[in-house]
Structure 1
Amino acid sequence: MAQNPRTTEATSSSTTDRNKRLTRRSYVRSLAAVATATMATGATTAVTADDGTGSSESYDTIEVSAGEDRTITVESGETFENVLIDCTAEGARATVAAHGTDWTIRNVAIEGQFDVGAPGAAFGVSDTGGGSSTVENVYLADGSVKGGAATAETGIWVSPDHSGHIDFERINVQGFPDNGIYASAPGGAGGGTVHIDSCFAANCYVSHYRIGSAGSKVTNSSVLLDDDGYDGRGIWVWAPGTCEIEGCQLEMNGQHYAISAGANGNGTTAEVTETDYDTGFHSGIKERDGSNVELASDVGTDPEAFVPSGVPTTPEDAASGN
């Protein structure tokens, strides 16, 4: 059953504390788990997947044991690809941590719903060297349970230290209680940008796509809220902005704002073009703290959320690159 929107949203202090905790958690776990991550990548099972055309792609499966909390670290310049991380065992979870520069995460799936009830993120990332990094073709649609404020999981979290650029392409993220793609933190810190393109997000709480640094954007992506999951904003734009929303379908079914701008006493600007949004929840748009949501003439109010072409719909599709 879908949760009702919280009466008290994230405040400045709680969000800042959450960022600091997760920053320390990500870095400490990454450093402490280098040996574990190396062992993990060396203890995989190779699988060959037929794409239906007579050709095939191989991928590795990493099985996470019951009760295990594993961190897999991606260093500067490295590529982590064609991996299915099996978290179907009870209490199993994993974090893919990339906090360097010019790294790539491609064709990766996390299979199994997180049920640990501890704060964290399936992916914790940042380009801290001012370079350009990529996260593409990722499956995170199994989500997480335990949606309380102290135990909420995030799909993809971008560290405040992010100073470069990250392209997020063809991501399927669903059912996370603390944002689907949480990328607003660099706006008040490292200033790095993100581009979320051709992604699908559904039934996440707080927000589905959350951005804030000037030049960040969400394009060609969909958000769906239905009767299964958490009720969160479609796109939440934080300060300082300006941020762009283009070519998106935001089908909220009257359960939350499609576009929300501003937070914690700081205003921002969201420029919206070629997008359809749902007006069923308080007209669909929230402008707070002096923010502006600027709607172009080609913006409509009849959204139809869909999975963009190439977005993986199964863990095997993602891991095999199909």
Structure 2
Amino acid sequence: MIFTVDVEDWSQSVLDRNNSVTERVLRSTHTVMDVLSENGTTATFFTLGNVAEKFPELIQRMVKEGHEVASHGYSHQNIYSMSPVQMQEDISKSVKILEDAGGEKVIGFRAPNFSIREHLFHPFCEALQASGIRYDSSLFPMKVLKYGIEKKYDLSVFQEYGIDEFYLSYIKLGKYKLPYFGGGYFRLSPYAMTNALIKPLPESAVFYMHPYEVDHEELSFVKEQYGKIPFKWRLTQFVGRKGIQDKLSRLIKDQDMMSFRDAYYPANVSRSDRANNLSSEVGSFSQLTA
């Protein structure tokens, strides 16, 4: 299974993009890397450019410990809110910052808030291709409150640009899809339930989380710095944080987790060989109905 981390600072990426990136993202990401290190596991860190810009030492540790550094855009601006030119500038800016900090080519991308939409596939793929991106993991193949696509869509455009698309994992309950494997869904659910629901997922399943989910003291900081926040945010964004570190350790011990790069893009695998390896998965993604 693929372990992915969306590296962003909560008060900047969620509360207000005009806020400064704080040191909380530095500490919480180190905590996640500590958990991974203790269990000999590598992950893909989809990292905001503004985080790497402020804390390049964080990127250097990722590289040193064998993790994959991938792009999450520069400032967590939604893809659908940008023009094609802005989209390309944002992605290329983030990629350059990450590559300068880590000294390695960035080949992966995930849109903030999974904010890609089907009518943007062509300019989005053009922007990815221009920055040398080889795969994307931005699709949430169901509609939820803040993101996702609920229509039938064709992913062949990604293949036209030579980009592999890996959508987020989900479980099926009857005719419904639930985006269960990561984020608040993982944080708010009992671990026993998560472990049971993982069993039918394929080995290519994608888990995701944010470093701030291990920061159980952040709510007090946010209240002190920015004042009262809505109850629904306190519920969905902060409940369950205290126990997440132990749950992550259990998940990593119970599952064979690795980065996208280690699973699909080892340095000695050619493009044609990789395409053959992925054909059974990516090929089946060309038409999806949410």
TM-score normalised by length of structure 1: 0.28
Which structure has greater strand proportion?
1
Structure with larger RCO (C-alpha < 8 A, sep 6+): 2
TM-score where L is the length of structure 2 = 0.30
